[in-house]
Structure 1
């Protein structure tokens, strides 16, 4: 290893700090960059019309010749979702476990990028070298199989990233977090630990994923009619438990939702999901079957408007609908920000006459460790420096306090925001400036073309609507040929506000005639005058500020 190039190590995040989602972490030397994860997150409520949000990778693009590889810890969307966008701009090998690479391949195929991508498979015992970085992997338990953590060797010491983890003493697939390897890594000395902070505020130990299997089996035994289960599409362990419960009760399963169908197909093909060939039926067959012999497995646990469960509840799904007597099991907890949409969905399901089972510990277990598990990770690795990652700031703060309890000096714990850099020199750490970071918004096929100004306009349109003012002027005489015509959308219903619209029309006409009589011909000035007069008038009359869009034509 070239020591000179690794004398100074820089560690920072381009996503995943101060938020839940779009995880992306970077380890950098003078000559090389290693990227850990490349996820997306769903938009905030005020990001109107936006589909997903990915990290701002402008720093990586500026230094793309230094990027030696992208390591993916597991196959959840908040860790792999941005890869298709990043690989268009950065050509680097992608490393992941068997299932992770399988899910990544599917993502890239949908974007037409599979043939261009260099995907390399690793496992929990792998030792590889990426550029000048010797890297060891260790197995961790999470809500998706084949999850790993990463240990990166540098001349100054080990930098360890835990990935998403919990210490499940009875995992569904029998694969435990590798405590033995973690102990050995800790004995070697860990320069810096980046650790999952999602549940740092919750005391105790997270329930085993296996316990949810018993709860789901109990629901299947008790349900008299059709049973509908919704969960995260990528929660392979939960899907396996639903299949086991359905098989035990001799029910057939209809799978509804593109993403969950894809995960089942890939997981079956790679050997991570085990089920009889005849257990699945087409959704169109369910209506003609005895409800007591059927189950539906679908997406929609977060109340998403276009998800399968929401469409089934509203009667807009083309094959299935929720009916009176159905038992709906929501085998997931709402993520931060989704509470209202989930609550509305539950209320709607009750109105339809369904029995809804939600918020129970026996049908959902978090894939992220609670405080005692986070403490165990800290005690096993005994890091000199600590950076809490993967969480909102209050979660990072709580994790930092746990680290202090575990013996990490508060001076060596860094609560960072996206882009903030920690620099290691001579095994000492300090804050060292900031790199460009932020959000890139994906809307349809557009990547980054929706920014603050577009969002502001969408917000204004959603709040007070728009008025379009159309007027035609005579090019020679500079008189008004036709109009002004005022078109209202989302502001007032014209037929019920004729007096207001006539008055507004008169205001615009008077303003234009005055300006033209003063020989004002600049369209920008005329438009500005129309906006100013109309805005003042409408606010005085309605206390609302619609967007005003003047359109001037000449003949």
Structure 2
């Protein structure tokens, strides 16, 4: 609901909601709540680079607004331990000192990441159902079900407005750990009154209900029961419930269990230490000793379900794994579905496995994966329980947010009470209504390339794209600026442009053209320096080469000093 004219408007208090990431995109989730000069952060995740982001490792949110308002920051609350919600925390802590709040497993996963970056911070463990305060924010963590254990939603109260943030969720009545989403508490919160709800939109386009994790267990039960070979199962390392089910089934059918892949090893160790994963004594075997176990008695749980080139399964498929050599008759199960953008790499690994005579089972063949996000009917249940006065869809691409908004309207919410924001916008909320302000905070994609954070921008990406498409040409030349005497070259060096041995004529013509350009430039302008010659070479050779090849390599003139 938009604000109406009010003479006392200036005296009103507002809760500011500022999404920095996670809107009109998948991943990089980060939302700021600001009230009375105090800020709390909800999640701080990363996303993975798009195809055109050549050489980029990960993408993180823009911390500019937080750095400018560092004295206001009171804490960061984590909904769950997936990379798109915690992956950028180490990069934030390199810029600012922030106190963390989250459940035991979530903070355990954060702790692992901080150790890799040689960082530490104050971390406060909270439990589902617990109420706590951060500054003027009164917060309650509400148990949620998702594709990772220990996920929570947050009910946040300030004198200005109350917010319910679902985090990622699905409504699974039969989760592996036996702790379904606390629907009765959600109903209680709805009766108390919620001014605005921020809700997961990932599966808003999918009708019906998301299938229960138990279905995957039933399918895997049948597969493992009938298998007579070694079984390798690729799944997300963070899906502790899935790993637990695989362990239980392996033990049930007399098989030992081992794991492969650094992230899988780390999560299994952490989840076991914290009590989220129970591996019976004697059931686990070290991967190095697994070769001594008969094939019919072994299950290997591995990373690589998304076809990642350096993940354990890809190395197995390419005969590059130190401890696991695949052979004809092995069974590989992809207990996952490809994340959008990963279809080609997953397909490549599947084809390589088939070429080895390995039996491959994946999502198109059997129900071996279910989503961790709510479909349309579950979203309707959430809206009906919380009964928010206003709604802001989050966590999804543009189409997901639009569909979730339509669902809210179908349930009776007025369009004027639904707020559609972009990253960097601000929604000022109180019990009377809300108003949107565009582009309040900087919310660019910050690209991480190796140790460099934010030092690669669009200009560099454009050059990398050009290099990947047309290659590089270096023109090495030496001349005396005083006399115009050319004492070296021009010498042509190319990389990724043409195969030199088969294009000697083209390179000879290019060399002659470069010499002509240099001589003409020096003749028409006796005072021409290296900058003038460089510009002439770039501009005129670009046209010449495109005319000959229909390609546009990056052209770099290099000048040798005259002594």
Counterpart of 2:60 (choices 54, 60, 65) is 54
In the alignment, does 2:91 pair up with 1:91? no
Q: How does 1:330-369 map to 2 (within 5 A)?
A: 330-359=334-363, 360=365, 362-369=367-374
In the alignment, does 2:37 pair up with 1:19? no
In the alignment, does 2:198 pair up with 1:191? no
Corresponding position of 1:239:
243
Aligned partner of residue 556 in structure 2, secondary structure: strand
For the residues of structure 2 that align with 1:468 and 1:108, how far apart are their CA atoms?
43
For the residues of structure 1 that align with 2:280 and 2:526, how far apart are their CA atoms?
83
Asked whether the equivalents of residues 104 and 150 of structure 2 are also in contact (C-alpha less than 8 Å), the reply is yes
For the residues of structure 2 that align with 1:283 and 1:440, how far apart are their CA atoms?
38
TM-score by length of 2: 0.95
Corresponding position of 2:515:
509
Give the aligned CA root-mean-square deviation in angstroms. Answer: 1.5
Aligned partner of residue 255 in structure 1, secondary structure: strand
Aligned partner of residue 212 in structure 1, secondary structure: helix
Of 209-218 and 132-141, the range deviating more from structure 2: 209-218
Asked whether the equivalents of residues 514 and 537 of structure 2 are also in contact (C-alpha less than 8 Å), the reply is yes
For the residues of structure 1 that align with 2:512 and 2:289, how far apart are their CA atoms?
62
For the residues of structure 1 that align with 2:486 and 2:326, how far apart are their CA atoms?
58
Counterpart of 1:524 (choices 503, 518, 531) is 531
For the residues of structure 2 that align with 1:123 and 1:23, how far apart are their CA atoms?
22
Deviations along 1:125-171, whole A, 9 cap, x unmatched? 21111011111111011111111110111223310101111111111
In the alignment, does 2:444 pair up with 1:438? yes
Structure 1 residue 325: deviation in Å? 1.1
In the alignment, does 2:48 pair up with 1:37? no
Q: How does 1:232-271 map to 2 (within 5 A)?
A: 232-271=236-275
Structure 1 residue 361: deviation in Å? 5.7
Structure 1 residue 101: deviation in Å? 1.0
Structure 1 residue 6: deviation in Å? 8.2
Deviations along 1:424-454, whole A, 9 cap, x unmatched? 2452112122221121011111111111111
Corresponding position of 1:178:
182
Aligned partner of residue 481 in structure 1, secondary structure: strand
For the residues of structure 2 that align with 1:5 and 1:14, how far apart are their CA atoms?
27
For the residues of structure 2 that align with 1:38 and 1:355, how far apart are their CA atoms?
39
For the residues of structure 1 that align with 2:246 and 2:314, how far apart are their CA atoms?
20
TM-score by length of 1: 0.96
Aligned partner of residue 468 in structure 2, secondary structure: helix
Asked whether the equivalents of residues 5 and 29 of structure 1 are also in contact (C-alpha less than 8 Å), the reply is no
Number of corresponding residues: 550
For the residues of structure 2 that align with 1:240 and 1:525, how far apart are their CA atoms?
68
For the residues of structure 1 that align with 2:245 and 2:362, how far apart are their CA atoms?
17
Aligned partner of residue 223 in structure 2, secondary structure: helix
Structure 1 residue 277: deviation in Å? 3.6
Aligned partner of residue 190 in structure 1, secondary structure: coil
Asked whether the equivalents of residues 156 and 427 of structure 1 are also in contact (C-alpha less than 8 Å), the reply is no
For the residues of structure 2 that align with 1:228 and 1:154, how far apart are their CA atoms?
50
Aligned partner of residue 363 in structure 1, secondary structure: coil
For the residues of structure 1 that align with 2:288 and 2:140, how far apart are their CA atoms?
48
Corresponding position of 1:550:
557
In the alignment, does 2:383 pair up with 1:407? no
Structure 1 residue 40: deviation in Å? 0.4
Corresponding position of 1:482:
488
In the alignment, does 2:280 pair up with 1:273? no
Structure 1 residue 76: deviation in Å? 0.7
